[in-house]
């Protein structure tokens, strides 16, 4: 099965408190971004990669693509102020068919497993929309001004990750409508749910973390070692 992946990489990583975009920080012997892109470069099902970047980081991005032989990258497109705009810029640049399967995956999640990607692609091919998720492990409550309002039933709670996989036409139309109506979404599923389509869960793994704070760098280092990828 074939797919194209869109990688939003146009953030700045403020919560990491580094002097540069967190995606350029080293994890083992290479930048976080290189790890993420290599997962897709090495996946036989992946046809092409579109990356959303900031214009002033283009040269750095191109240098990484060259150094790590990331030949599946077909385009670097300029992202926007919010992640949602960056993803839409990738969708606008895509030139596949409406039936094609596209994935969206955060550049900041370097530990995605190929088996999860394949499960998502198959599910999206069958249903139109599938997202990676793990069961919530903590008891979760709704709180307003420090006061607990409600305890949510844990068996119904899932923490959502990327990749998120969709039939192209569905995601494009949903994303376009959300932007036109200024609906703010923190993931692609939100826009597709709002558009009226059913979104399916694919169980992912807890190690598919998003590198957000410096604590994630330490854990990421440990994960690389565990996988024998600490070079
Ligand atoms: N992203 C993007 N365009 C934006 C904002 C974020 O392409 N305008 C990307 C980031 O580069 C990252 C992914 O979306 O790969 C997930 O976002 P997040 O982890 O929040 O990264 P940042 O926004 O860079 O970090 P922070 O929120 O701490 O500033
Ligand atoms: Mg952010």
Distance CA 131, CA 119 (A): 10
| Residue located nearest, by CA, to atom 8 of ligand 1 | 82
- Using 50, 70 and 90 to split pLDDT, how confident is the model at 181? very high
Q: Is the pLDDT of residue 159 over 90?
A: yes
Own/partner contacts of 92-99, CB < 8 Å, gap of 24 or more, are 93/50, 94/4, 94/6, 94/50, 94/168, 94/172, 96/4, 96/168, 97/168, 98/167, 98/168, 98/169, 98/172, 99/167, 99/168, 99/169
- Using 50, 70 and 90 to split pLDDT, how confident is the model at 224? very high
Ligand closest to Cα of 107 equals: 1
Which residues approach ligand 1 with their CB closer than 6 A?
8-15, 23, 52, 79-83, 86, 106-108, 210, 212
Token digits of residue 188: 């692609």
Q: Is the pLDDT of residue 231 over 90?
A: no
Task: Identify the CATH assignment for 3-226 out of 3.90.550.10, 3.40.50.720, 3.90.1150.10, 3.40.50.300.
Answer: 3.90.550.10
Task: Kindly give the distance from the C-alpha atom of residue 147 to the centroid of ligand 1, in angstroms, as a whole number.
Answer: 31
Q: Is the pLDDT of residue 43 over 90?
A: yes
pLDDT at 105: 98
Residues 74-89 have pLDDT tens digits of 999 999 999 999 999 9
Residues 97-124 have pLDDT tens digits of 999 999 999 999 999 999 999 999 999 9
| Residue range 163-172: mean pLDDT, rounded | 98
């Amino acid at each position: 099965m074939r797919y194209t992946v869109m990688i939003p990489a146009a953030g700045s990583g403020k919560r990491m408190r580094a002097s540069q975009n967190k995606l350029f920080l080293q994890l083992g012997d290479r930048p976080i971004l290189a790890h993420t892109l290599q997962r897709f470069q090495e996946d036989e099902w992946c046809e092409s990669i579109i990356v959303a970047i900031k214009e002033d980081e283009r040269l750095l991005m191109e240098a990484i693509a060259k150094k790590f032989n990331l030949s599946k990258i077909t385009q670097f497109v300029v992202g926007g102020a919010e992640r949602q705009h960056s993803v839409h810029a990738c969708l606008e640049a895509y030139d596949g068919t409406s039936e094609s399967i596209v994935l969206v995956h955060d550049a900041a999640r370097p530990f995605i497993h190929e088996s999860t990607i394949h499960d998502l692609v198959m599910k999206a091919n069958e249903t139109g929309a599938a997202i990676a998720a793990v069961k919530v492990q903590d008891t979760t409550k709704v709180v307003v001004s420090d006061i607990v309002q409600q305890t949510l039933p844990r068996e119904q709670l899932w923490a959502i990750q990327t990749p998120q996989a969709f039939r192209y036409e569905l995601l494009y139309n949903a994303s376009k409508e959300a932007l036109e109506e200024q609906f703010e979404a923190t993931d692609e599923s939100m826009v597709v749910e709002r558009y009226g389509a059913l979104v399916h869960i694919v169980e992912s793994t807890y190690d598919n973390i998003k590198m957000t704070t410096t604590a994630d760098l330490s854990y990421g280092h440990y994960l690389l070692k565990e996988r024998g990828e600490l070079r």
